[in-house]
Amino acid sequence: MLSEGTPRTGAGLWRAIGVLVLLLAAAPIVHRYLVAYPDDQWQVDLQVYREAGRSLLLGRPVYLFETEVPQLLPFTYPTFSAVLSIPLALLPWGAAGWVWTGVQLGLLYAIVGLAFAPLLARAGRFAGLAHGVVAALCVWISPVGENIRFGQVNAVLVTLCLLDLVKGSDGLRVGRFTLRWPRGALVGVAVAIKLTPGVFLVHFALTRQWRELRNAVLAAAGVTVATFLVAPEGSLEFWTSALLNSDRLGPNAGSSNQSLRGFVLRLYLSDGATTALWGVLALLAAVAGFALARALHRRGSLVGEVAACGMVAVLVSPVSWLHHLLWGVVVLGAVAGDGRVRARAVTAVVGLLLLWVAWPWWGANLLAERGVPTVLARAVQNGDLWWACLSLPAMWLLVGRHTPSQSQVVTNQSRSV
């Protein structure tokens, strides 16, 4: 709902300059992937979404249709995502790629504003410029580039979950009004778009945020049921068949799968050993990640809470492509805090620099080089996975220890929505 509030002062000149800084920083990446990229690889994931929307409009099977040669990619998301893709289906193909890239840059700007809010606030009247500079630095990390390259949807998921947990209690100021929603509902919408944000439902249960859990489940169920009424055949196909077939996601053992399962698959063990080892590692990651998220929730570190859940999603999911590490932007914001603690600031900068490197692709190239030890090449190939794993103890040591306990405040906020 919208409630009238006091106008928020000044985007102003510095904010405009900050946005310009982001656009200038993004220009080489956009040129590479939208102008110089081969036509047969152009926005291939966006094409999947768009074709799913077209399938609904044309009455063809959503989950049987594949994109053109050489990709031959099927649609793998819940049918609600196909419904949301209908506007893309109505746009000319060339325009859709540019529009979606603009949306992604806008969402990255929003994510940075939420995740780095304490740091940006220290810039005072130059906060708008600082916002653009931090976003410009983040646009060059590998996961952001991968999202732009493929036309991916991760920026939408991260924005929904981050906005929900960080602003769900107070609402979001839009001009003279404040936009409010039941806290947890946006997480539910994210789950209906793609299942991986379901880790937040587990987190809500573990932290006894029952109202948020209820709102999330009702939102996810509501849009899913509504989608079933609009597209019953596609919905039935997804929940009874497509969901259970992980092979539809592509080669799970490839370099681009940076989940724990991807790591285990690249060990090329027997099927039984692979399943057992993955199960143990995923359980350990889930226990550690949810314990961290619970601790940060009790201390009132809402950004850290989101970051920890995001890393759990990356680690325990059967498939986590490189672009899923967009959650890393939230991790960097949580670690940086307001920038006053030197260890946190330095760690955030180091983490940013490490994400600038496309470790999996570099490792894959090393595997093809003679004279490079396989163990070293494999270690580099799993670089994003190591980053995700190390982010958990980093947040535990730096965010948890340097955030005063606000458990009572968080509890009261949670009950008020």
Domain boundaries, the chain: 8-416
In whole angstroms, give the CA distance from residue 51 to residue 93.
10
Contact 292, 299 (CB under 8 A): no
Closest by alpha carbon to 367, among 385, 386, 382? 382
Question: How far is 381 from 258, CA to CA, in rounded Å?
Answer: 9
Q: Of 154, 184, 153, 178, which Cα lies nearest the Cα of 166?
A: 184
The pLDDT value recorded for residue 417 is: 36
End-to-end, the C-alpha distance of the chain in Å comes to 13
Instruction: Say which residue the tokens 């937040």 belong to.
Output: 200
Secondary structure of the chain in HEC code, one letter for each residue:
CEEECCCCCCCHHHHHHHHHHHHHHHHHHHHHHHHCCCHHHCCHHHHHHHHHHHHHHHCCCCCCCECCCCCCCECCCCHHHHHHCHHHHHCCHHHHHHHHHHHHHHHHHHHHHHHCHHHHHCCHHHHHHHHHHHHHHHCCCHHHHHHHHHCCCHHHHHHHHHHHHHHCCCCEEECCEEECCCCCHHHHHHHHHCCHHHHHHHHHHHCCCHHHHHHHHHHHHHHHHHHHHHCHHHHHHHHHCHHHCHHHHCCCCCCCECCHHHHHHCCCCCHHHHHHHHHHHHHHHHHHHHHHHHHHHHCCCHHHHHHHHHHHHHHHCCCCEHHHHHHHHHHHHHHHCCCCCHHHHHHHHHHHHHHCCCHHHHHHHHHCCCCCCHHHHHHHHCHHHHHHHHHHHHHHHHHHCCCCCCHHHHHHHHHHC
pLDDT in the model for residue 173: 82
User: Tens digit of pLDDT per residue, the chain (417 long)?
Assistant: 444 444 444 558 999 999 999 999 999 999 999 999 998 899 999 999 999 999 999 999 999 888 887 878 999 999 999 999 999 999 999 999 999 999 999 999 999 999 999 999 999 999 999 999 999 999 999 999 999 999 999 999 999 999 999 998 888 887 788 889 999 999 999 999 999 999 999 999 999 999 999 999 999 999 999 999 999 999 999 998 877 766 666 678 899 999 999 999 999 999 999 999 999 999 999 999 999 999 999 999 999 999 999 999 999 999 999 999 999 999 999 999 999 999 999 999 999 999 999 999 999 999 999 889 999 999 999 999 999 999 999 999 999 876 665 543 343 343 333
Output the CA–CA distances (angstroms, integers) from residue 180 to 163, 169, 170, 205, 219, in the order listed: 11, 8, 7, 23, 15
State residue 157 phi and psi, 5-degree precision.
-65, -45
Determine the pLDDT at residue 12. Answer: 81
Closest CA to 377 of 360, 390, 389: 360
What sign does the CA torsion over 90, 91, 97, 98 have?
negative
Helix axes 142-150, 93-115, angle to 10 degrees: 150
- Measured CA to CA, the distance from residue 200 to residue 198 in angstroms comes to 5
Token output for 140? 């060059």
